[in-house]
Amino acid sequence: SRPLGADQISYFNEQWDKLEKNRRSLLQDLRRAIDNGDLQVHYQPQLHLERQRISGCEVLVRWHCPERGTVPPDEFIPLAEEHRLIAPLTKQVILKSCTELGEVDLLGSTLDRVSVNISAQEFTDRDFLPQMQALLGDLSSLRPYLQLEITERAALLDMKRSIHYIRSLREQGLRFSIDDFGTGYSGLSMLRDLPVDELKIDRSFIVDLNSQPRSAAIVSAVVGLADVFGLSVVAEGVETDGQLEALRRCRCEEVQGYLIAPPLDIQRFQAFLTGHSLQ
Ligand code: C2E
Ligand code: CA
Ligand code: CA
Ligand code: CA
């Protein structure tokens, strides 16, 4: 290959500068949004197949930036993790959902469980446990329903610490779910050692559930494992009737995905629940 010409190098430098500037201003905007309490939360319902009702929801952060429009979490969560903004972000997500769900009076009567995402960087931070414990003090209404979603990868980074965190918080009534289950490394030893309550089967196994017998076999196996260990099991990313039928056949307990509903703001979530509760 030929060496880069001077104009190519200067073009590259310009592009790099632009990227860097954009990242820096995105970070500033994010910091401001967190400081001002501008982040929003949406709720995605989880359907219990046997009970035929919505039993829980996953809380997903949303950022509607006035200058940029809606920025997807996959873009700003990593930035928040990198710049120590993830703990204040999580705190805001938990407090917002606590306030909003409290106002519409959905906890307990309709919802058994509210799941919040905890990113790997946060879960492996030594301040995580004391910060979470301090926060729980203010959350008497949400606490009995609160479940934290962590990934296998996060838990495996330091098993001893993970077990300690999970035990301590479960003693205070929190539940734990393993997000993206099956995509990490040693799912089985993790199941042996971690005192969790739920497995979430990753969307990658649901996508080709009807066309790839191996995915169907994995889903059945995970449902079986959950059963043996006495854990709940949720399939995420359910988009088609075919997938739903396959999940029923596997005896998967709960499903979540666009087929049921997308993540909804609190008004739409409430409307969805009242329209769907079997009273
Ligand atoms: P995740 O925890 O695996 O969340 C599921 C993602 O799948 C969400 O994307 C959700 O909107 C999307 N989804 C739901 N149903 C379907 C479906 O049927 N089909 C497809 N294709 N997608 C579906 P979202 O909200 O963009 O979030 C992306 C990721 O960002 C999340 O993945 C999670 O890792 C992270 N995230 C979102 N909210 C938070 C938060 O409050 N805190 C932290 N730490 N991370 C968050
Ligand atoms: Ca999740
Ligand atoms: Ca997930
Ligand atoms: Ca995922």
Please tell me the predicted confidence (pLDDT) of residue 276: 58
150 alpha carbon – ligand 3 mean position (Å): 9
67 alpha carbon – ligand 2 mean position (Å): 27
Assigned token pair, 26: 């995105």
How many C-beta atoms surround the C-beta of residue 169 within 10 A? 19
What are the Cα distances from residue 201, in Å, to 68, 182, 183?
33, 7, 9
223 alpha carbon – ligand 4 mean position (Å): 18
Ligand nearest to the CA of 60: 1
| Pairing outcome for strands 113-117 and 53-65 | parallel
Cα(28)–Cα(22) distance, integer angstroms: 10
Burial class (CB in 10 A: 0-12, 13-18, 19+), 176: buried
The label of the residue with tokens 């949406």 reads 42
* Substitution candidate for ligand 1 out of 100, 117, 178, 179 with most atoms within 8 A of CB: 117
Please tell me the predicted confidence (pLDDT) of residue 1: 66
Residues 6+ positions from 228 with CB-CB distance below 8 Å:
none
Q: Taking Cα atoms as reference points, which of 250, 151, 248, 263 lies closest to residue 202?
A: 151
Query: Ligand 1 atom closest to Cα of 116?
Result: 41
Q: Taking Cα atoms as reference points, which of 173, 176, 220 lies closest to residue 198?
A: 176
ipTM for the whole predicted complex goes beyond 0.95:
yes
Crossing angle between the packed helical segments 86-104 and 128-136, to the nearest 10 degrees: 20
270 alpha carbon – ligand 4 mean position (Å): 25
Please tell me the predicted confidence (pLDDT) of residue 13: 84
Cα(259)–Cα(42) distance, integer angstroms: 16
pTM, to two decimals? 0.92
Q: Is 260 helix (H, G, I), strand (E, B) or coil?
A: coil
Mind listing the pLDDT tens digit of every residue in the chain (279 residues)?
Answer: 677 888 888 888 888 888 777 777 899 999 999 999 999 999 999 999 999 999 999 999 999 998 889 999 999 999 999 999 999 999 999 999 999 999 888 888 889 999 999 999 999 999 999 999 999 988 988 999 999 999 988 888 889 999 999 999 999 999 999 999 988 766 678 888 899 999 999 999 999 999 999 999 999 999 999 999 999 999 999 999 999 999 999 999 999 999 999 999 999 999 999 885 544
